[in-house]
Structure 1
Amino acid sequence: MDNPDEARRLDLKTTAPPLERQARWAGIAPGMRVADVGCGSGKTSRFLHRLVDGGEVVGIDASAERIAHARAEHSAPGLTFTCRDFYAPLDDLGSFDFIWVRFVLEYHRAHSRDIVANLLRLLKPGGILCLIDLDHNCLSHFGMPPRLERALDGVMQHLTAEHDFDPYAGRKLYSYLYDTGCSDIQVDLTHHHLIYGALGAVDDYNWSQKVEVAARTSGYDFPDYPGGFPEFREEFASFFADPRRFTYTPLICCSGRAPR
């Protein structure tokens, strides 16, 4: 999803109530030192910062463009941002009470376990690691024409094979915590997308960007569409604008405590 408009898409689709509810469920508390890994535009970090009154939040992202946006829009006392590769050692950032990893591992299918193991090194003994991701990502729609459904499956197969994307990241999170020896593991299942009836402006923009960026650059050649990607894009837009359409995406939240 890396493109010049990604920060805007992230800002538009990120709202405080669900995020703060998830963070409280996971155990965030005032005074904590928190790492927001894959912080993107920085808006998530700002919401987390509200919950750690007297604490500190460090937003971490590998994109220099995202970090520049975050620093310009969201920096505050106790809220800082750093451009870092979270595959590499991060020990110089110090230790944390709480590490937040939301909508990140889905973009790192082959190395998700390595990322989790690397981040656990930053947690204080008994510190909390919270992993949140989608399952069956972008694939749960009803009312879709058969060729459109085949095309979406084809796009996802290409993104998985060629771009390290994982549409089933959510179901794996519990095992990451279990296998690394975390304790007090808890799991919550809810929805992220639940779209029916009239299409709202934010969902329209978010999904049109998904199609324009991810589907276009996936490498899939849209064999059922004589007009190629533009014809696919037009049919998806027509389907998605139809109030009869039903779309949902499961959201799985897992948290656990680092070994003491």
Structure 2
Amino acid sequence: MTSAADTASPPAPPSAEAALAALRGEIDRLDDQLHDLVMRRAEVVASLAASRVKGGASPLRPGREAMILRRLLRRHHGDLPPGAMVRLWREILASSSAMQGGFGVAVYTRDSNQPRLAREHFGSLTPVRSMPTAARALAAVGSGEAQVAVLPLPEEGEPLDQAWWLGLDAPRLQVMARLPFWAPNAENLPEAFAVAPGAPDPSGADRSLLRLEAAADRGRTQLLGALAAAGLTPRTLLTRREGGVVRALAEVDGVVAEGDPRLAALPFDRALPLGFYAVPERGDQG
């Protein structure tokens, strides 16, 4: 004997409208959870800012931020592009820095990419002021008008007024970041350095900049050999010869700060660290 249950029709599948409403409801629940976590993160940041441990330290922690983003990039998967994830966290990190003491950015606008790089790195709500020269941008930081200067990467043979590294007032002002921190590839990529008061914090994978001065009779090969002999093999080396003196900008792996014994081993008239930065992440690596 056949029961009514055996002859009952299977339940009708949900309509397209019902399925869409269910998905939207799930998104709403996820948005609430995300919002709760963001608010909780802000509470923790506020506690950190008020703690005695922070003291009078700068709210800018580029090394710590790099460590956070590297960790998230390693665990990231799925359909959301890594660049979108980085942009989300850059806004969160910028807001956290602003909570601990608002800051502004002075940008030397040698080209149109510099303001964009500054806003993408330091947050869309961070005040960004355009400056006509690198010296004006650095002066704004030195006077406290801004807390960060964004400057173009140095180039071989650039005009003297654009070679900002020659007059950087280190260690009072130091390079603390290279922008952008993440990009899909390294080809034809506009980049910039960020300069701020005080020393940057290490990220675990860093590169340092050194300003060198020596007698003008030293050639490029001699400079490279002396750096390598001291354990400071440069990735790049820019040189300028003026008034019987050769000045060079060397980029080397690792953190090199004042007091590093390798600096004392260099046979130059002066070797001054200009700061260091977290090695950027590029999407075409590995």
TM-score between the two structures when normalised by the length of structure 1: 0.29
The higher-RCO structure (CA 8 Å, 6+ apart) is: 1
Q: Flag the structure with higher helix content.
A: 1
TM-score between the two structures when normalised by the length of structure 2: 0.27
Between structure 1 and structure 2, the one with the greater Rg is 2
